[in-house]
Structure 1
Amino acid sequence: MIGPFINGAALLAGSVAGAMIGPKLNANIRTRMPMVFGCASMGLGVAMIVKVKLLAPVMLALVVGSLLGEIIKLDNIIQNCAAKARIVIEKLTRPSGDMDQEEFLDKFVALLVLFCMSGTGIYGSMTEGMTGDATLLIVKSILDFFTAPIFASTMGFTVGILVFPQFLVQSLLFLGASLILPLTTPDMLADFSSCGGLIMLATGFRICGIKQFPVANMIPALILVMPLSYLWATYLG
């Protein structure tokens, strides 16, 4: 297992570098590059959405999963954890720029999905677990290494704590891949990718400040989409 370690190291190194050079970074870079990364997230999302095989279960998973997220208030849970982490880290380091609390929490939730729940990271972890090929996670590491400094330049070292949920998610998927993938079909994986693409699209809108989609509350859809895809194909397909 090398992919999760490489990705975690890239995210952490990028976050530390961004937090340290933040004040020296050109203001245009700090304000405009996040929009570029948001656009990239939307483009990746669209590329993943078009892989859909069974549209109905994907939509059902997105709606039901988002409803579950709203019921348990997953977005609020993540925001509360982020707020506490910010307070602790800023006591040990410099403050996170001029960003107010609401803007900080909005961006933190979007980054959580971008770094930890993206289709590239999830599918890459599963692929390495089954085949030993870490190529997808290495590619994601390169992207994260350049993305993290831009956000850390305004949000501070707090971005670096995302390495923990990222490593946890990728490690669990790597270890469970031998149990998960034999139970899946190509169509189920395609629908999983499509569902992840919808969330990535919403994440891009949120990062760009176009629309504040509740992306964290949409995460349970990723758990539901493959079982629903299988059931739909088996009994209604």
Structure 2
Amino acid sequence: MMVLLGTIVNTLAIILGSILGHLLKRIPEKIKQTVTQGMALIIILLGIQMGLKTQNSMYVIGSIVLGGLIGEWLDLERLLNRFGYFLEQKVGTSKDGNIAKAFVTSTLVFVVGAMSIVGALNSGLRGDHSLLFTKAVLDGFLALIFATTLGIGVIFSSISVFIYEGLIAVFATYIAKAIPDPLMGRFIDEITATGGILIIAIGLNLLNITKVKTANFLPSIIICALIVISVYYWHLS
């Protein structure tokens, strides 16, 4: 249980922030719009910063293209919307936002990035939860803001965070053995950079500049990990 302490705190912070944001949902619509636009701009900036972590843009390009093809073939966006409708049937239709949109938007922001990976690894390998505690404060605040603008669906992203960070923390020892130190830095940087592209897409969607099917690019994260590992061991051989 101590291995999951940081993950549990992070999860609870998102739940608390979502509930508080839901209670504050009655703020005027024009203020919601301004806050949403402000958050969208911050998210785009965060995505750009993450994207610049790459040490080789070909990793990101290959991951986005292949991941997008796989996601489009699987039609993950449609599956996610169906899951959102399922949640609405279970908890009641949200009157202040689309549950599926809130879920995927907040999940990507909370899960993608170096803090999730490194924080969970520190929890599992060293029992050091300080990074996830810091992330919990940031995520809790973001969950509050998201919930006021996107709706209560943000709270369901806590499930994704718990599963994602929890699995990394529990299997941290095996991950550390499978990924040697010289590879770990590249591994985290390229996954973060690929995730940054998805974060930028979320920001653009929130600004209504375009409509990117962000969920269809989720396989890009897995593809990126496979490409980085494959290239590393190919060079060794």
Structure 1 length as normaliser, TM-score? Answer: 0.84
Query: Which whole-Å CA distance do the structure 2 matches of 1:54 and 1:179 have between them?
Result: 27
1:22 to 25, 40, 46: 25
Give, as a single letter, the amino acid of the residue that structure 1 aligns with 2:193.
S
1:50 pairs with 2:52: yes
Change (3 A) 1:164 1:230: closer
- 1:50-199, aligned counterparts within 5 Å? 50-90=52-92, 95-97=94-96, 99=97, 105-184=100-179, 185=183, 186-199=185-198
Q: How does 1:197-216 map to 2 (within 5 A)?
A: 197-216=196-215
Unaligned residue ranges in structure 1 (runs of 5+): none
Name the % identity.
Answer: 23
Q: Count residues in correspondence.
A: 229
Q: 1:83 to 1:123 in 2, by over 3 A?
A: farther
Deviations 1:122-151 (A, max 9, x none): 343233323333233222222222222233
Give the 3 Å change call, closer, same or farther, for CA 61–111 of structure 1 in structure 2. same
Greater mean alpha carbon deviation, residues 164-173 or residues 179-188: 179-188
RMSD, aligned CA: 2.4
Deviation at 1:162, TM superposition (A): 2.0
Distance in 1, matches of 2:211 and 2:176, equals 33
Which position in structure 2 is the counterpart of 1:232? 231
Shift, 1:10, TM fit: 0.9
For the structure 1 residues 22 and 63, does the alpha-carbon distance in structure 2 shift closer, same or farther, using more than 3 Å as the test?
Answer: same
- 1:181 to 1:217, Cα distance in 2 relative to 1, 3 A: farther
Q: In the aligned structure 1, how far is the partner of 2:190 from the partner of 2:51?
A: 8
Distance 1:44 1:120 in 2: 13
Distance 1:96 1:128, change over 3 A: same
Deviation at 1:9, TM superposition (A): 0.8
Gaps of 5+ in 2: none
| Greater shift in the superposed pair: 116-125 or 40-49 | 116-125
Relative to structure 1, the CA distance from residue 144 to residue 96 in structure 2 (aligned partners, 3 Å threshold; closer, same or farther) is farther
TM-score by length of 2: 0.84
SS of 2:171's partner is helix
Which of 32, 35, 42 is 2:34 aligned to?
32
